[in-house]
Amino acid sequence: MEIKVNRDSKDPHRSLIKSAVVLLCVLLLQPASSLRAAESDAILSVRLAHHSNVPNAADDFNTFSDRLLQVDYNRDWRFVTSPGNWFSVGLLTQGDLWQQTSGMNRLAAGVAVGYSHKFGLGPEAPRLNLRSQWLYQEFDGSVRSGPVHSHSAALSRWIADNIQLSGSWSWTAQSAPSRRELLANPAFDVDVFNQEQQQLTIQADYLLYNSHALSAHLSATDGDTGASARPGSALLRIGEAIARDNGIDRGYLAYRVEARRYAAGLQWSMPLSMDSSLSLGAERRLARADAGVRYRETRVHLDYLKRF
Amino acid sequence: MACTKTGVSIAVMLSLSHAAYGGDLEVLIRDEAGNPVEGAVVELINTGLPQPADWPQSAVIDQINKEFVEPVIAIVAGTSVSFPNSDDVHHHVYSFSPTKRFELPLYTGDPAAPVVFETPGVVTIGCNIHDWMVGYIYIGESHLMAISDMEGVGKIVDLPAGTYTARMWHKGLGVGQELTEFTVEVPAAGVAQHSVSLTEQPAFATRRAPLPGLRSY
Ligand SMILES: [Cu+2]
């Protein structure tokens, strides 16, 4: 068996240097008055989630579910440069703790820069948000470890007093440098987690009189995805890269698969105070790859958010 | 409680300016369920009573913790209002209301000049940075005004006996239907009480509490 991939493993240091330069440029471009009146927000997000198909397995035999705790602590500094224009820089820290799949436990830290523009005055004026972020993530099962960066553009607008529509596009790339020591077979290529995806999302938020919010979203993602299964799976026919998956473990192999993934989700969110909220959401995902291979997953999550 | 303070201060001012008169007016404002309605403005119109020469010609709406400290104020036409910013971040105060359109773009500390409200009516103010910030300025034709407190009571004191036409406004009455009028009898001494039942239109408030985003990886 031969799986041929000609991808260079990306240098994580190059990505970090690039982000530091962008950050510095954004800061240097700010007028002094804008820097002095920078608005700083920190958001703590604690999520309890259940994922029905942790390995993205294409068949019941390899599918298993697990619960996880996700804790994010992000701090943003926003600089209003002129009416309707904001620049922001942010520091991001994230942690995932799985109940059983300890190889997927993850710590990540990184930076973000953003620009927002509001087309006019008032809450109903449309908004454009551009954001880039660079993270370094370390998994207990190191095959996935490496930098991940993304760029996104989102346009949102309140079309009625209580209905907001938004559309966003994002591009994400992650690289996990080749780890020859993870080879299950010398013929395998281990660049499974060198992946790129593009995603389009549309979301509608419906606000109730008590400020509870109901949200629905649809998204389509095109590009690479990682799927894992025990040897002998249909993924072998379409996998562009393969490695022993020390994140999932249990003898699983990880494959990089070219797939189109669709997701639909619903969420209900209630404010607990001016700056905190509790939300419950669910998302159904379906991914289609070549040769009729597909996998499904349902994710359910409960979120507590607190802004400081 | 900010409304209460304003209501009380207007009542105190009235009391000082018309010490020679005797009758008081208490308007009790309730919603359909009988709950007190705070922040409603009661104004006596066409009274023919002169405005005292020392009546305040300026008012202040401060901004603290990204909120307007006074969600509702009542001022006489011609009053100037300043919008100091006590936060250490920018605010950008504006109004689209036909009664008075204005914009105080991006400032910290005190803005350059106060805004003069010449025309009677209601002005809704907002901040273009913090969309949840909202406040109301009621600009009266007369100086005889009160804002209902937490008990739903708006009190105007020391009025000459007679029949008055009162006007009431509340943000929950809906655009174009904010003003209701009624007549009240004020005795030479003692308190005249008048109850008003208000049918509040539910209104959406811009949410300040955070919403979870989607992790894209
Ligand atoms: Cu503001």
Q: Give the per-residue pLDDT at A260.
A: 95
User: pLDDT tens digit string along A149-189?
Assistant: 999 999 999 999 899 999 999 999 998 866 555 555 555 56
- Percent of chain B residues topping a pLDDT of 90: 59
What is the separation of C-alpha A231 from the centre of its chain, rounded to a whole number of angstroms? 28
Q: Give the per-residue pLDDT at B10.
A: 42
pLDDT of A10 over the 50 cut: no
- Nearest by CB: B208 against A33, A161, A275: A275
Pairwise CA distance, residues A225 & A105, whole Å: 19
Average pLDDT, rounded, for chain A: 87
Instruction: List residues bridging with A218 in a β-sheet.
Output: A202, A264
User: pLDDT tens digit string along B144-170?
Assistant: 999 999 999 999 998 999 999 999 999
pLDDT of B15 over the 50 cut: no
Pairwise CA distance, residues A226 & B207, whole Å: 37
Pairwise CA distance, residues A269 & A216, whole Å: 11
Q: Give the per-residue pLDDT at A26.
A: 63
* Count of alpha carbons within 13 angstroms of residue A237, beta-carbon side: 9
B200 against B30, higher pLDDT: B30
- Nearest by CB: A271 against B207, B215, B217: B207
A135 against A244, higher pLDDT: A135
- For residue B114, the SS3 value is coil
Amino acid letter, B195? S
pLDDT of A111 over the 70 cut: yes
Mean pLDDT of B122-140: 94
Strands A163-174 and B134-140: unpaired
Q: Give the per-residue pLDDT at A31.
A: 62
A186 against B210, higher pLDDT: B210
What is chain B's alpha carbon radius of gyration, rounded to the nearest angstrom? Answer: 18
Q: Which helix (H) or strand (E) holds B8?
A: helix B2-17
Mean pLDDT of A43-60: 95
Q: How far is the CA of A263 from the CAs of A106, A297, B23, in angstroms? A: 23, 9, 68
B210 contacts A43? CB cut-off 8 A? yes
Q: How far is B10 from chain A (nearest CA, A)?
A: 30
pLDDT of B91 over the 60 cut: yes
Q: Give the per-residue pLDDT at B1.
A: 35
Q: Give the per-residue pLDDT at A119.
A: 95
Dihedrals φ, ψ of B40, to 5°?
Answer: -90, 145
A4 against B77, higher pLDDT: B77
Strands B58-60 and B41-45: unpaired
Q: Show residues of chain B in contact with A275, CB under 8 Å.
A: 208-210
Q: Give the per-residue pLDDT at B9.
A: 39
Q: How far is A209 from chain B (nearest CA, A)?
A: 5
Which among A173-182, B16-25, B167-176 has the top mean pLDDT?
Answer: B167-176
Tokens of A302: 């409960």
**CB A138, CB A109: distance < 8 Å:** no
Q: Give the per-residue pLDDT at A232.
A: 86
Window 101-140 of B: residues touching A by CB (8 A cutoff) are 103, 105-106, 108, 126, 128-129, 131
pLDDT of A21 over the 80 cut: no
User: pLDDT tens digit string along A217-266?
Assistant: 999 999 999 999 998 888 888 888 888 888 888 889 999 999 999 999 99
Q: Give the per-residue pLDDT at A23.
A: 64
Confidence class for position A47, pLDDT limits 50, 70, 90: very high
Distance A147 CA to ligand 1 centre (A): 36
Calculate ∠ Cα A168-A173-A177, nearest 5°.
Answer: 165
Terminal-to-terminal C-alpha distance of chain A:
54
Calculate ∠ Cα B201-B203-B204, nearest 5°.
Answer: 165
Instruction: List residues bridging with A109 in a β-sheet.
Output: A93, A136
